Structure 1
Amino acid sequence: MKKNIFPVLAFTLATGLLSCSKSNLTQLAPDQLTTDNYWISKDKALSGLAAAYSQLESFTGWDNYVEARSVREFYREDYIAPGEDAYNYSWWMDHYNFSFTSGNYAIDLLWRDNYRGLNLTNQVLEGIERIPAGSIDDAGKKQIIAEAKFLRAYYHFKLLTNFDKIILRDKVPVSEADLAKGLSERKDAYDMILADLSAAVPDLPLKSERPAAEQGRITKGAAQAYIGKVNLYRASEDAANAATYYTNAANSLKTVINSNEYQIDPDFLSMFNGTTKNGVESIFELQQTADASNGAYYRSFLSDWVAASDLGGYGEIYGTQRLLTEMKKEGKVATGGLYDPRSYGTVYFEDSYFNDATNPRVYGDTYNNVFGNGKNIIAFRKWIPPTPDRIGRSNAINVPLMRYADVMLLYAEALNESGKPAEAVPVINSLRKQRSNMPALNISSKQEVFNAIVHERVMEFTLESSRFYDLRRWGLLAKNMQEAGRTFSADKAYYPLPLKETLNNPQTK
């Protein structure tokens, strides 16, 4: 369901500063912006930083964000099924069937957009040093550098979680030789990512120190949360040093918890339908706004892509019975005799909760249209606006990239893997109580705690770009794909290097 819809980027730099292509490595005319005459003030540095933010999650168009990101992040999960229209797009279905090759369009965009982000980020880190001392205050300079280092870590980590080996970019290419750089070992990539995140922490403000106009910009808590996450991912790949990484993860995540900057939002659904933005649980969030008063906005049609056709969307993705079984497996033990409230905030399914004439919850009176006549539909509710009039129009629904619930569960996991399941259980139960008022779990063994974490992550993060990567780092990817009846082989755990890269970069052959 292709559309030529592109958001207007809130901030851009001149074309000569946005690319590292061959044409931009040559001398430009004197009246054009260059790296020599652009970096003259703090305002320029902030504009450069905004451009570096612009590549987050490929949020630069319909192809990049709505289609390509969705098939990469969602179609590789074992709890989803593509809608009928998806079969018209082979480059989508190649992800669901794990038959993708190096020429797949979504893989090419993932590589391209993140390396664009790295190029823009490195321009900030190098360019800011050219600004005359009197044109930028020391504190402001340090904070911009810290944000840029976080972004460089983020882009590298995004690549590392999708490709077995990546090219580390720590400077702006100035020659053809710089562009043709070889692949790095995963150890070196992890080292650089963690070094950048650690370097960023001291000069980043807390969330409470950010003024309202700076909502969405990186904070100290975001950097500390990602230090925890990166260490946890690394531990799953390096058994010999796993204990150290689990300890590092637990320490950093505990710091976020102890900061008292965040809390669990009791209104789970509001974080995914546009009614809550940058709320109490938000640590790092992809910003979207429909405010075009200044001529610039970010918004997308992701809701249309996700919404079931029965609800007026394109119906490109649905939940499976395996997902619903997992979400309902504790039974109706929540307040009011309901299933875990997070299930209702994630999917629409046939249940009395949705079939309530006094409080319609399926876009008014459409319950029978969706579930009548024996239809067995499991439609996603996440990323869908609260009222049907928004379907078919662009929506400004922020996308949480890191939230406090993730910190809590990653912390519980780090404790459990460090041989401290008794310390992990209260963390899990605290999340369950604060979020859904669900009964406390009476568990004690490491395996029981791990199983609880697996379940809690399904309840919290379904359709939030987590499940595939969780299964892979837990060593459960092949097992769950087999249980889901999916075709999968170990060589598809990571993407192949994009064909364009291997053709143009002799160092990757």
Structure 2
Amino acid sequence: MKRIKIFLTVFITVFAINGCDEEDLELTNPSGLSPETYFRTEAQVQSAVNAVYANLQTIGLYTRTYFFAMDLMSREALGNPQLEADKRVYLEWSFDASHPPIAWYWDSCYRGINKANFVIGNEERINEIPSSLLSEEKKAKFIGEAKYMRALYYFMLVTRFGDIPLITTVPEGGEGFPRSPKEDVYALIEADLTDASKSLLSKEVAEKGRATSGAAYALLGKAHLYQEEYQEALNAFENIYGEYSLEEDYFANFREEDEFGPESIFEVQFDDDLGNSAVWNSNSSGEDANEVTFRGQEYGFNDWFNAYPSPALLDAYEDGDIRFEETFYTDGDTWAGESIIRTGPIPEPVPEGEIYIPLERTAAWRKYQNYYKDVNEDQASGINFKVIRYADVLLMMAEAENELGNQSEAIDYINEVRERAELDPLPDGLSKEEVFDAIVQERMVELAGEQVRFPDLVRWGLAADYLGQYGFQAGKNELWPIPNDEISSNENITQEDQNPGF
């Protein structure tokens, strides 16, 4: 943890954080604030809270590492020959504790946590600000945002590493923290989200991009579901059931112009108009201008095309499922009003007005791509990432109901999702096992390429069944290794504390 503490010293002293620069976050520039002036005005409190969000916009998380790791490990995506070696390891399960992107993921989350702790630890000081300068509702909202974000970062860590250091204050000394049982981590996640759900604003009145009460309930339900606490999960989800709705157009969820739509519960913001000068220097810090993701360029068939949809994913869709054509480009499709996409051997010469997906792939990604409006991706994409959307919640509610023995209710939730896909509804009378199989299927096709498939397989105990043939080892690869950098710098974590198999 020493590197994290060093960063915090800089953060607390200078407070030069410029992340999360979406206009809707009403950013003020916090550079130059001294410790003596912290938390005396609304702008200062908001700047501190803005900094907590910024670590989602790092190469260690949604700018690059996160989508590659999850999509490749789940085998939703496969790598073309040009895929870099530090990404190919996810396909081959050959990464170890020295793998830099895993360390960046770890650091990104813990830096975000420590920024959140800085805000939460100054709750008393924030509450001392006169209400004429900062209303009581806004004070509670800002603390709620910090708690939501702390819970989100801890959720991302505990699901990838298991037992982890649990830090709730800004460290003052140089000592590191030992690993805490994952049960304790989940307890903090639940406490933070319960508090946040009471103080955050609803989506209808909150600024775009902010954590909301609905987002807190959704993540709380998800945390309970991951622990197989099904009634508690339903209790959380029921607070937002009917408060959101599915987009009529499935693809609108992944189109820049339709961000924060009726289905969106929480999303990571990107805006390529706001600058990316620090993007290659932001593996984990979240400092300076880093307002873009490389997802479009990395997966784009007319650009880098480092990853493409796997045949197993393509084959999972039922005939007539409109989500297929909204998720992938295939032979005969057009894009940006320019050319026709073809697959197969590339002829000489290529017919005018056609472009061929190279390497004889049968499909390419449409989801999260800018090709609906641009012929080429530029390196910087401004399309937001959905962290939780309403269809995900409906399918999690179905899972909880099914595990509680309420198959009819579970089927109703599944059918809400299938109706938009223009598929026939599931019939009543299915067994628990049949409903579970339907949930596995629906989550695979509804949430393809949204970084949920691999965690789903792990928590269901199905990862070895689906991924064992590719090198996944049960008892090892459910978790990532604790980074070597952490073990070497934290005197309270040794190699004996490393996850099994690493």
Query: Do they superpose with TM above 0.5?
Result: yes
Q: Does 1:191 align with 2:182?
A: no
Q: For the residues of structure 1 that align with 2:485 and 2:53, how far apart are their CA atoms?
A: 24
- Match in the other structure for 1:346: 327
Q: Does 1:451 align with 2:437?
A: yes
- Match in the other structure for 2:201: 205
Q: For the residues of structure 2 that align with 1:81 and 1:164, how far apart are their CA atoms?
A: 26
Of 448, 473, 484, which residue of structure 2 is paired with 1:462? 448
- The secondary structure found in structure 2 opposite 1:379 is strand
- The secondary structure found in structure 2 opposite 1:201 is helix
- Match in the other structure for 2:303: 313
Q: 1:427 to 1:27 in 2, by over 3 A?
A: closer
The Cα shift of 1:325 comes to 1.2
Of 212, 215, 219, which residue of structure 1 is paired with 2:212? 219
- Match in the other structure for 2:283: none
- The secondary structure found in structure 2 opposite 1:348 is strand
More helix by share: 1
The Cα shift of 1:127 comes to 2.7
- Match in the other structure for 2:165: 167
Q: Does 1:323 align with 2:313?
A: yes
- Match in the other structure for 2:74: 77
Q: Does 1:256 align with 2:249?
A: no
Of 132, 143, 146, which residue of structure 2 is paired with 1:145? 143
- The secondary structure found in structure 2 opposite 1:60 is coil
Q: For the residues of structure 1 that align with 2:47 and 2:13, how far apart are their CA atoms?
A: 21
Q: Does 1:101 align with 2:96?
A: yes
- The secondary structure found in structure 2 opposite 1:411 is helix
- Match in the other structure for 1:282: 264
Which stretch shifts more, 455-464 or 31-40? 31-40
CA contact (8 A) 2:218 2:236 kept: yes
The Cα shift of 1:465 comes to 0.4
- Match in the other structure for 2:382: 396
- 1:29-44 maps to which residues of 2 (within 5 A)? 33-44=33-44
CA contact (8 A) 1:39 1:128 kept: no
Amino acid at match of 2:58: T
The Cα shift of 1:371 comes to 7.6
CA contact (8 A) 1:228 1:252 kept: yes
What is the CA deviation profile of residues 443-502 of structure 1, one whole-angstrom value per residue up to 9, with x for unaligned ones? 5211111111111111111110000000001110000013xx411112111011010100
- Match in the other structure for 1:52: 52
Q: For the residues of structure 2 that align with 1:487 and 1:462, how far apart are their CA atoms?
A: 21
CA contact (8 A) 1:66 1:305 kept: no
- 1:122-141 maps to which residues of 2 (within 5 A)? 122-131=117-126, 132-134=128-130, 135-141=133-139
- Match in the other structure for 1:301: 294
Gap regions ≥5 residues in structure 2:
15-30, 278-288, 348-358, 495-502
What is the CA deviation profile of residues 396-436 of structure 1, one whole-angstrom value per residue up to 9, with x for unaligned ones? 11111110001100000000011111111111112211x22
Amino acid at match of 1:264: L
Amino acid at match of 1:280: P
Q: Does 1:267 align with 2:246?
A: no
Report the TM-score when normalising by structure 2: 0.84
Q: 1:138 to 1:275 in 2, by over 3 A?
A: closer
- Match in the other structure for 2:353: none
- Match in the other structure for 2:402: 416
Gap regions ≥5 residues in structure 1:
1-17, 236-244, 332-338
Amino acid at match of 1:143: K
Amino acid at match of 2:218: A
Q: For the residues of structure 2 that align with 1:22 and 1:118, how far apart are their CA atoms?
A: 12
Q: Does 1:505 align with 2:490?
A: yes
Q: For the residues of structure 2 that align with 1:27 and 1:364, how far apart are their CA atoms?
A: 51
Q: For the residues of structure 1 that align with 2:418 and 2:473, how far apart are their CA atoms?
A: 35
Q: 1:205 to 1:109 in 2, by over 3 A?
A: same
Report the TM-score when normalising by structure 1: 0.82
Q: 1:23 to 1:398 in 2, by over 3 A?
A: closer
> Percent of aligned pairs with the same residue?
30
CA contact (8 A) 1:208 1:261 kept: no
Q: 1:342 to 1:175 in 2, by over 3 A?
A: same
Q: 1:112 to 1:206 in 2, by over 3 A?
A: same
The Cα shift of 1:140 comes to 1.2
Aligned residue-pair number: 448
Q: For the residues of structure 2 that align with 1:50 and 1:468, how far apart are their CA atoms?
A: 30
Q: 1:187 to 1:206 in 2, by over 3 A?
A: same
Indicate the RMSD between aligned Cα atoms, in angstroms.
2.6
What is the CA deviation profile of residues 84-131 of structure 1, one whole-angstrom value per residue up to 9, with x for unaligned ones? 111xx3221222111111110110000000000001111111234224
What is the CA deviation profile of residues 157-201 of structure 1, one whole-angstrom value per residue up to 9, with x for unaligned ones? 110010021111111111113xx1110001111111101101111
- 1:355-370 maps to which residues of 2 (within 5 A)? 355=333, 360-361=334-335, 364-368=338-342
Q: For the residues of structure 2 that align with 1:28 and 1:298, how far apart are their CA atoms?
A: 24
- Match in the other structure for 1:475: 461
CA contact (8 A) 2:120 2:146 kept: yes
CA contact (8 A) 1:181 1:505 kept: yes
